């Protein structure tokens, strides 16, 4: 089921719940109401927003992810539902007990898909495309040669032709667009993992002990291309700005509704993510070998 | 927010609107109680009032509308008349609203994506 993405960032809003609907108001004036069960991601990026407690509890009960940003517009945390799947316990167990070779093979599939997606984003540069395709072929189980990094270097080199661009987390524009896009995508991925009854914390490759969403970051890799392709188009559309405008954010958020094809399913990306998460769960349970990832035609 | 008709439907689904219209008895205390319960259940299911006894809900897809159809059927009041009607987003966008003789703009459909 397609869900709504809501961002609160323009002014001092107050969020509350009435009749199981999320009520967004400014002072005494109500600006909008959204049924909680229609919510997919709530992103709050304004320092003076106030909440009632039930906003969080109700939204989480409805399986909505809540992303909170700090004064620098950086996401500092995410709330995800604990009880989002009825078979959760068994599935956690499968995930924890997954053997190393299984995880390595998964990582190989993910890196391959990521590199192919990168090739698609820069499809006009034939030289780089063939190089990336060759690299994707060379990815071994668990990617011990770190082909991922080699591909990324090549890719970011050609990514933004004509603008001086270095991909850095806190770098200048268009890094801010990429960060914003990744954040939203990551929240959507984490949410789909929870719905599939997996722990977003336990990664298959990412193992940073300070990162609470390792698995979400792993699974995010093949989907980054969607954000990057969008940012590339936007670089030509908009002036470089330090602060993203609402218009830019809306355009980045729309990535979640792009049409994709995942394992025979055609429809919005946000719904397709559930297929990917479900296929990952099957691999952990030993019922399948392949991840269902977006089909990429170069 | 633009008008409904020119809304790009981001989700790739055809959005629909579900109307719930009802006439319920309010003669006894019990009937009024049932009326209130029904009305509140409607709101909890995401319906919003457009006129007295006329409530509407935006559903992102046909399948989703079916879910809410079923739900409303599940909490119908013991007496009185309830009508459920489903129309497409395009038809909803063509609705004309008048206030006296003055035309009011048609409210826009909620987008899949909203910025407040």
- pLDDT at residue A250, rounded to an integer: 84
Portion of chain B with pLDDT greater than 90, in percent: 55
* Nearest residue in A to B59, CA atom: A38
Residue B8 has pLDDT above 60, yes or no: no
**Cα maximum dimension of chain B:** 48
Residues of B with Cβ-Cβ distance to A35 under 8 angstroms: 45-46, 57
- Return the C-alpha torsion angle A24, A25, A31, A37, nearest 10: 20
Is A263:A232 a contact under the CB 8 Å cutoff?
no
Please name the residue of chain B whose CA is at the shortest distance from the CA of residue A11.
Answer: B116
Q: Are A200 and A80 in contact (CB under 8 A)?
A: yes
Superfamily covering domain A87-285 = CRISPR-associated endonuclease Cas1, C-terminal domain (1.20.120.920)
Is B107 in CB contact (< 8 Å) with chain A? no
> Residue A207: what pLDDT?
66
CATH homologous superfamily for the domain A4-79: CRISPR-associated endonuclease Cas1, N-terminal domain (3.100.10.20)
Check residue B110 and give its pLDDT.
67
Beta carbons of B110 and A253 less than 8 Å apart = no
What letter would DSSP give residue B17? E
Minimal C-alpha gap between A232 and chain B (Å): 20
Residues A281 and A197 sit within 8 Å (Cβ to Cβ) = yes
Q: What is the pLDDT of residue A234?
A: 87
Q: What residue ranges of chain A are covered by domains with CATH 1.20.120.920?
A: 87-285
Q: Is the peptide bond before A174 cis (omega within 30 degrees of 0)?
A: yes
pLDDT at B89 over 90: no
Output the pLDDT for position B1: 33
Report whether pLDDT(B69) > 90: yes
Residues B62, B63, B66: CA angle, nearest 5 degrees: 90
Quick one: which of A163, A170, A182 has its CA closest to A239?
A: A163
Q: Residue A90: what pLDDT?
A: 83
**Does residue B113 register a pLDDT over 70?**
no
Domain range list for chain B: 16-104
* The predicted structure's pLDDT at residue A76: 78
Arch. (CATH architecture) of B16-104: 2-Layer Sandwich (3.30)
Predicted confidence (pLDDT) at residue B9 exceeds the cutoff of 70: no
Please name the member of B12, B57, B112 whose beta carbon is closest to the beta carbon of A5: B112
Q: Pick the more confident residue, A50 or B106.
A: A50
Minimum-distance CB partner of B46 among A35, A250, A256: A35
User: Taking CB atoms and an 8 Å cutoff, what residues of chain A touch B12?
Assistant: 257, 259, 267-268
CA distance B80 to chain A (A): 23
Whether B29 shows a pLDDT value over 90: the answer reads yes
pLDDT band at B3 (very low <50, low <70, confident <90, very high): very low
pLDDT of residue B23: 95
Is A242 annotated in a binding site? The answer is no
pTM summary value: 0.78
pLDDT by 10-residue block (mean), chain A, 298 residues: 82 91 90 90 89 94 87 77 75 87 91 92 88 91 89 86 69 82 89 85 74 84 92 81 82 87 86 90 88 86
In chain A, residues under CATH classification 3.100.10.20 are: 4-79
Query: Do the Cβ atoms of B112 and A4 come within 8 Å?
Result: yes
Please choose, from the candidates A185, A266, A261, the residue with its C-alpha nearest in 3D space to the C-alpha of residue A224. A185
């Amino acid at each position: 089921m397609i869900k709504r993405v809501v961002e609160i960032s323009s002014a001092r809003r107050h969020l509350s719940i009435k009749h199981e609907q999320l009520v967004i108001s400014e002072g005494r004036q109500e600006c909008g109401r959204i049924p909680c069960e229609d919510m997919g991601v709530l992103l709050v990026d304004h320092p003076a927003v106030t909440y009632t407690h039930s906003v969080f509890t109700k939204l989480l009960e409805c399986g909505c992810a809540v992303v909170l940003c700090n004064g620098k517009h950086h996401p500092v945390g995410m709330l995800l539902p604990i009880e989002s799947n009825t078979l959760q316990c068994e599935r956690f167990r499968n995930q924890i007990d997954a053997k190393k070779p299984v995880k390595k093979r998964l990582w190989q599939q993910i890196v391959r898909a990521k590199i192919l997606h990168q090739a698609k984003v820069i499809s006009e540069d034939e030289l780089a495309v063939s190089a990336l395709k060759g690299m994707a072929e060379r990815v071994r189980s668990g990617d011990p040669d770190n082909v991922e990094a080699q591909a990324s270097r090549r890719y970011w080199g050609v990514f933004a032709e004509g603008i001086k661009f270095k991909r850095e987390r806190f770098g200048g524009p268009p890094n801010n667009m990429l960060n914003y896009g990744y954040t939203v995508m990551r929240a959507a991925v984490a949410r789909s993992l929870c719905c599939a009854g997996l722990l977003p914390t336990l990664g298959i490759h990412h193992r940073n002990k300070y990162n609470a969403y390792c698995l979400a970051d792993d699974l995010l890799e093949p989907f980054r291309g969607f954000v990057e392709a969008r940012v590339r188009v936007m670089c030509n559309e908009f002036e470089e700005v330090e602060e993203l405008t609402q218009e830019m954010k809306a355009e980045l958020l729309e990535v979640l509704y792009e049409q994709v094809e995942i394992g025979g399913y055609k429809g919005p990306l946000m719904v397709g993510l559930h297929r990917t998460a479900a296929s990952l769960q099957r691999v952990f349970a030993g019922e399948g070998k392949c991840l269902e990832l977006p089909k990429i035609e170069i | 927010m633009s008008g409904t008709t020119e809304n790009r439907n981001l989700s790739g689904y055809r959005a629909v609107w579900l109307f719930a219209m009802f006439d319920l008895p309010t003669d006894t205390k019990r009937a009024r109680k049932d009326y209130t319960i029904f009305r509140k259940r409607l709101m909890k299911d995401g319906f919003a009032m457009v006129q007295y006894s006329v409530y509407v809900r935006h559903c992102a897809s046909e399948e989703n509308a079916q879910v809410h159809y079923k739900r409303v059927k599940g909490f119908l009041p013991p007496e009185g008349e309830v009508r459920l009607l489903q129309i497409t987003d395009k038809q909803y966008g063509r609705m004309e609203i008048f206030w006296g003789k003055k035309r009011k703009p048609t409210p826009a459909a909620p987008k899949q994506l909203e910025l407040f």
